[in-house]
Structure 1
Amino acid sequence: MTDPAPPTVWARPRPEPRRRAPGVDRYVAAALAVADAEGLAAVSMRRVAGDVASGTATLYRYIANRDELVDLMVDAVRGEEPLPEPTRDWRTDLAAFATALRATLMRHPWLAGELAGRPSLGPNSLRRSESALRAAVALTPDITLASQALGTVHSYVLGSVATQQAARRAEQRTGLTEEQWQRSVGPYISEVLAAGEHPMLARRVHEGEEVDPDVEFAFGLDCVLDGLAARLPRPSGTS
């Protein structure tokens, strides 16, 4: 018989900080600073304890392991953006959910990988999920379809942000800005396109405009919402 799983971090009472000892919030803030600057892989219990001038044993008194620490980090950043005021217009409310999620992901590049796995069950995450589901239910009363619609929007945001963050990582890796990289590959691209084998790519390079990431995100989000509106039955009397 296997041992029962330990209670989740959210179900276990948290001890009060001893005099002059850092509390959970300070440990989480220190971990967030490391993750935002260096990536989630750089976060360790020893590193976080050291950054707040605390013994590792003291940290373990409040947080059982690194997985719990990451759970606390995720929920902390999910509480940064205020919950949007519901308008009862599903499109407006889902767009507000998507925009707030994107802002959080852009501030914390490590977060997308965590949100793509198991759902976060912290209080901030649950409040945000409840709010988003209420918006989706205004589109369709079927809770399963509403959940799928919300998942579609969620996946679009994750994918859009991942593309933008990949460009940032490439810039950090090569040391070249996007403009510098384009200049460096310009002669090669010009030679390839001059051969005439890629007319659509040639049009994109010579005629197309560079679109602001915010504008590009809004365009894609509109397409997703248009698709949901066309596919899902809505309650009678709604638009």
Structure 2
Amino acid sequence: MTAEEPSLPAHVRMWMPQPKRGRGPAPAYSREQIADAAIGIADRDGLGAVSMRKVAAELGTGAMSLYRYVENKHCLYELMADRMLGRREWPELTGDWRTDLRDLARGQRAIMLEHPWLTEVWSGRPTLGPNMLAGLERALSIVDGLGMGIDDMFETVGMIDAWVTGYVKNELAARADLGGVAGEELQRQLGGYVESLVASGEYPYFTRIVREARGPHSTYGEHFERTLDRLLAGIEATLPPRGRE
């Protein structure tokens, strides 16, 4: 790197090709082993519990030895985020973009519900790791051939990704606040208070939601599917004519 070239952040630099090693001992750990150890800690105790020291303890080594592989905690999060995509088995693409985008969204929701800490490390955190790049290639291949340029293709799959992440964040927050209660059970528990609001006559739209809307009576999964339907319909409506066929 010359003096004029900007230095890359550590979490980007970590993916750069490494110089060939000379003679000497081979690395004791793979990136996958380090990431798996960190993921195990996050699954048990939350993302805040992940540290170089604890990951090293999981691997049976000293914390300083890990700095040969990852420079800081940001890099460790980067490894975890990339590794999670590599550990998941995604369904075969069908060739129907609606079905395949739906499967992509469902899979993303499922993995974040299984590992809630992922909403923190995936949000707005672009990465150039191999599994993330493979996932991007797969996602873009779904919308290829719909008449869009690469900008619109990238924005379309990015919109799905951002929407699912935001949806799951709200879902997890609601589950935590309401103890996992939803749908009819939530309506039953809040019944008295809700009826008092309706009876006041001050909230006509809220009253319509209570009396007419399906949403308050739905499970999280049902609401996700209906909202995803609307999102896919919006994508279809903005496609070039031949892409809607």
What range is the shorter-chain TM-score in? 0.7 to 0.9
Alpha-carbon distance in structure 1 between the residues aligned to 2:194 and 2:57: 50
Alpha-carbon distance in structure 1 between the residues aligned to 2:145 and 2:92: 14
Alpha-carbon distance in structure 2 between the residues aligned to 1:93 and 1:138: 14
Other-structure match for 1:4 = 7
1:166 lines up with 2:173 in the alignment:
yes
Q: Residue 204 of structure 1: CA displacement? A: 3.2
Q: Residue 106 of structure 1: CA displacement? A: 1.3
Q: Residue 203 of structure 1: CA displacement? A: 4.1
Q: Residue 158 of structure 1: CA displacement? A: 1.4
Q: Residue 61 of structure 1: CA displacement? A: 2.5
Q: Residue 132 of structure 1: CA displacement? A: 0.4
SS at match of 2:68: helix
Q: Residue 73 of structure 1: CA displacement? A: 0.4
Alpha-carbon distance in structure 1 between the residues aligned to 2:102 and 2:92: 12
The residue type equivalent to 1:205 in the other structure is V
State which drifts further: 189-198 or 65-74. Answer: 189-198
Other-structure match for 2:37 = 30
For residue 204 of structure 1, the aligned residue among 205, 209, 221 is 209
For residue 39 of structure 1, the aligned residue among 26, 40, 46 is 46
Instruction: Number of aligned residue pairs: give it.
Output: 231
Alignment deviations for residues 189-234 of structure 1 (CA, whole Å, 9 cap, x no partner):
3333222222332343355552122221111111111111111215
Is the 1:83–1:131 Cα contact (8 Å) retained in structure 2?
no
Alpha-carbon distance in structure 2 between the residues aligned to 1:232 and 1:117: 26
TM-score, with normalisation over the residues of structure 1?
Answer: 0.83
Is the 1:139–1:233 Cα contact (8 Å) retained in structure 2?
yes
1:61 lines up with 2:71 in the alignment:
no
* Unpaired stretches in structure 1, ≥5 consecutive residues: none
Alpha-carbon distance in structure 2 between the residues aligned to 1:116 and 1:144: 20
Q: Residue 184 of structure 1: CA displacement? A: 6.1
Is the 1:136–1:147 Cα contact (8 Å) retained in structure 2?
no
Alpha-carbon distance in structure 2 between the residues aligned to 1:234 and 1:54: 59
Root-mean-square deviation (CA, aligned residues, Å) is 2.8
Alignment deviations for residues 61-111 of structure 1 (CA, whole Å, 9 cap, x no partner):
222221111111011101122243232222122112212111121122121
- Classify 1:116/1:140 alpha carbon distance in 2 versus 1 (closer, same or farther; 3 Å): farther
Alpha-carbon distance in structure 2 between the residues aligned to 1:148 and 1:130: 13
Alpha-carbon distance in structure 1 between the residues aligned to 2:180 and 2:92: 38
The residue type equivalent to 1:4 in the other structure is S
Other-structure match for 1:137 = 144
Q: Residue 121 of structure 1: CA displacement? A: 1.2
Alignment deviations for residues 27-66 of structure 1 (CA, whole Å, 9 cap, x no partner):
3222112222333222111122223332111222222221
- Classify 1:38/1:140 alpha carbon distance in 2 versus 1 (closer, same or farther; 3 Å): farther
Structure 1 residues 37-186: aligned runs within 5 Å: 37-171=44-178, 176-178=179-181, 185-186=190-191
- Classify 1:181/1:212 alpha carbon distance in 2 versus 1 (closer, same or farther; 3 Å): closer
